[in-house]
Structure 1
């Protein structure tokens, strides 16, 4: 449970939240662009379900205060677009491993469990701002991006700019939350772990594109 936050200048709080909102929105927009260009989905399904659940819960069930609430609305709208992309392009890859008729039930089950897990985690730990859930699923997303790259053995649906925007978008709230709760060692572990896996993903993605004869910086 996060208690007794330190004082942080309100202007810094707003700036860091808006900066995080901008870079994560850029991440989602780039995923949408790359996905339509490659005719594939760019966000792993479990990460997408977690994002949609978190954004819905903290927009409507336990709404954040502004400006974070407006950021949540924007993220939810963008992730809804990524959802459409996953439903359009995801079944083909899914069918390579499991029968296609499990595609929609599997997605709905994952979405329902993600929603319940995030909701109950936040209530159990009295964390109605969703901090633990946000950084926990961010770490999960970092690992899943690596898994997606290795599974496909190609940069399909991905770009260095997506990876960089995600990493920068995470650094802002990491620093902000550290200013509020410098004594939370669990959060510090999450911040550091996310950064490490994001750097690993960047390196692997760069090497994969170079190996495929793709200029990593020309692939938007």
Structure 2
């Protein structure tokens, strides 16, 4: 069961990243919130390299794959992210902020390793940054005034990809912290799914008795 849930999580998060790359180029934006993207990229770079150094497992394979996908998502952020900010934020300020964000993200990941060790740090940071991402997705939806640069597929796959390891490390791993944070992620993820679902384009059926294509008030 643990192996099955690990694969479910790995596949679901791979779907998140692939669709994030697709929609990022389609909408000329970035599909993962900036702070969460920085932490994710740092996590996957650190633990992907560690997986290559210590021996590839199923989780290690996904860590490396996610790290490679994150390179493309970071590119969409660097290429299109400046346009999401106020006009007074120059390109130089934007690049400086991106470097600061990346530096802080790697520092946080390594500080967790220093405090908790490799195994515990990988789990604690993964779930805490996942909860941050869940909240930031909602903030992104609000800030952009809709679903630009976002999709239901990303939201659904993110929820499934988080829920599966919540059971692995929270329930089977007997960790109240991970179980609680993972379930909180589900609350936010389902709320975000609801927002995207309500904002989707709707096709209105023609009024009764009117032929298809008839528009009231026109001659």
TM-score, structure 2 normalization: 0.85
Cα 1:127–1:214 change in 2 (3 A) is farther
| Distance (Å, rounded) in 1 between the aligned partners of 2:159 and 2:203 | 22
Deviations 1:90-122 (A, max 9, x none): 111124463332111101111111111011112
Of the candidates 107, 111, 115, which is equivalent to residue 102 of structure 2?
Answer: 111
RMSD: 2.0
CA distance in 1, matches of 2:186, 2:16: 16
Unaligned runs of 5+ in 1: 1-11, 216-220
State the partner residue of 1:149.
141
* 1:50 match: 39
Residues 165 and 39 (structure 1 numbering): CA distance in 2 closer, same or farther, change over 3 Å? same
Inter-partner Cα distance in structure 2 for 1:122 and 1:105:
26
1:204 aligned onto 2:195: yes
Name 1:22's counterpart in structure 2: 11
Cα distance in 1 for partners of 2:203, 2:96 equals 36
Taking the aligned partners of 1:64 and 1:50, their CA distance within structure 2 comes to: 23
Specify the SS of the correspondent of 1:42.
coil
Is the CA contact (8 Å cut-off) linking 1:53 and 1:118 kept in structure 2? yes
Task: Kindly indicate whether the alpha-carbon contact (under 8 Å) linking 1:35 and 1:157 is maintained by their aligned counterparts in 2.
Answer: yes
Question: Structure 1, residues 54-88: CA drift from partner, whole Å, max 9, x if none?
Answer: 00111224757501111101000111110111111
Q: Unpaired segments of 5 or more residues in structure 2? A: 205-219
Number of corresponding residues: 201
Cross-structure match for 2:213: none
**Match in the other structure for 2:215:** none
Does the C-alpha gap of structure 1 residues 92 and 174 become closer, same or farther in structure 2, counting only changes over 3 Å? same
Instruction: Find the residue that maps to 2:150 and give its secondary structure.
Output: coil
Alpha-carbon distance in 2 for matches of 1:196, 1:179 = 17
Which structure carries more relative contact order (alpha carbon 8 Å, separation 6+)?
Answer: 1
Q: Secondary structure at the match of 1:128?
A: helix
Q: Equivalents in 1 of 2:203, 2:72: separation in Å?
A: 27
Cα distance in 2 between the residues matched to 1:214 and 1:137: 37
Deviation at 1:123, TM superposition (A): 2.3
Deviations, residues 97-154 of structure 1 (Å, cap 9, x unaligned): 6333211110111111111101111220224350000000000000111111100102
Task: Kindly name which structure, 1 or 2, has the bigger radius of gyration based on alpha carbons.
Answer: 2
Map of 1:78 onto structure 2: 69
Residues 72 and 96 of structure 1: CA distance in aligned 2, closer, same or farther (over 3 Å): same
